[in-house]
Amino acid sequence: MSTTAAVVVYGATGHTGRFVVAELRRRGFATVISGRDAGRLEALAAEWGDVEVRPAAVDDASSLDRALAGAAAVVNCAGPFALTAGPVVEAALRAGLPYVDVAAEIEANVSMFSDRAEAARKADAPVVPAMAFYGGLGDLLVTAAMGEWTAADAVHVAYGLNGWHPTPGTRLAGRVSHERRAGRRVRFAEGALQYHDDEPWEQDWFFPEPVGRRAVIAEFTMADVVTVPSHLAVPEVRTYMTVEAAKDLAEEDTPAPEPVDALGRSNQTFVVDVVVSAGGVERRASARGQDIYAVTAPLAVEAVARILAGRTRTTGVASAGAMFDAAEFLRALSPHVSVELPH
């Protein structure tokens, strides 16, 4: 497949979509911006100057087909993914194109793995959901930490955010997920997703220095509970969130992120700390960086670059850790992300 063909970014006018477009342009990819609001797309095209505009709506299959015509790949950045992922991936598979999305919604990712696997296999097209901070980065870290292990007893992924100013898209996606599970919480235990009404609780997590000991919400469940067990034999996947970030997300008046540098990043910092255990032995991997929305862009674009270069391990629907060489991928994210992996 020629890398001179354009990469389509659906949802390009959104907060994360803009970061993805900027990263594609920085890396020299011809870029098509798409979404339902033609006026906003044209305004951004005037600002960027070197992108093509192709408006499309998820309830209009022919418009999606036109948006993807002749493209090399599509990156879906438009949430809620419960509404957009199905139509956009179907359009990609009709065109025989690789599909990448940045979905953090647990149910949307479950649907992608369960409902699109056969169609993606028949189309022989890579489909990588959750190629983002949540779901993708953790899955890569877990896979790298596992190394030669083919199974583990448990996986723990702790998110050390110094705060979380959610975008309007994050809030909307959260409401959709909350409604889809009827307000219940979810965990991955005994080899399956379990929906429950247990109250959340706090505990301490010892992040790598200089973050150190922090209070976290236990079972603050993120998309890693879908991506990790999609390809690794692990009966238990637990995720944790620093209390400060969880409170920010819960507060209705927490403002959206504000840029503080020339790249448009906020002053949010993060460390993702992964512990995998098997037979009493633990392995650890971690990653740190700035702005969970901004860092999604190099994750998604690196995935596209590797797919187009044929640097993949499988085809069809697969998580980041299954599709790519995890340790190599993580190291390629420098300087956006610094990683510490087991030797």
SS3 letters for 50-117?
CEEECCCCCCCHHHHHHHHCCCCEEEECCCCHHHHHHHHHHHHHHHCCCEEECCCCHHHHHHHHHHCH
Which pLDDT belongs to residue 4? 65
User: How many other CB atoms are there within 10 angstroms of residue 198's CB atom?
Assistant: 10
Q: Give the DSSP per-residue string, 126-155.
A: EEE---SIIIIIHHHHHHHHHTT-SB-SEE
In the predicted model, residues of the chain with pLDDT beneath 50 are 1-3
User: How many other CB atoms are there within 10 angstroms of residue 40's CB atom?
Assistant: 16
Q: Is 154 left (phi over 0), alpha (psi -120 to 50) or beta?
A: beta
The first and second tokens of residue 237, run together, are 């996947």
Q: Is residue 324 within 8 Å of 306, Cβ to Cβ?
A: yes
Side chain identity, residue 53:
V
Q: Which of 127, 95, 93 is nearest to 108 (CA)?
A: 127
Which pLDDT belongs to residue 2? 34
User: How many other CB atoms are there within 10 angstroms of residue 264's CB atom?
Assistant: 17
Side chain identity, residue 290:
Q
Residues of the chain with CATH 3.40.50.720: 7-132+296-327
Q: What residues have CB less than 8 Å from 99, skipping those under 6 apart? A: 73, 74, 76, 88, 89, 92, 93, 120, 125, 126, 127, 128
> What CATH number is given for 7-132+296-327 in this structure?
3.40.50.720
Which pLDDT belongs to residue 83? 95
Report the DSSP beta bridge partners of residue 233: 151
**Largest alpha-carbon pair distance within the chain?**
58
Q: Which of 85, 133, 160 is nearest to 300 (CA)?
A: 133
What is the chain's alpha carbon radius of gyration, rounded to the nearest angstrom?
19
- Specify the length of the chain in residues: 343
Measured N-to-C along each axis, helices 81-95 and 61-68 cross at an angle, to the nearest 10 degrees, of 60
Residues of the chain with CATH 3.30.360.10: 133-291+336-340
Q: Which of 245, 292, 268, 287 is nearest to 16 (CA)?
A: 292
Which pLDDT belongs to residue 210? 87
Q: How far is the C-alpha of 10 from the C-alpha of 113, rounded, in Å? A: 20
CA-CA distances (angstroms) from residue 226 to 82, 237, 278?
15, 9, 20
Which homologous superfamily does the CATH classification assign to the domain defined by 133-291+336-340?
Dihydrodipicolinate Reductase; domain 2 (3.30.360.10)
Q: How far is the C-alpha of 217 from the C-alpha of 247, rounded, in Å? A: 10
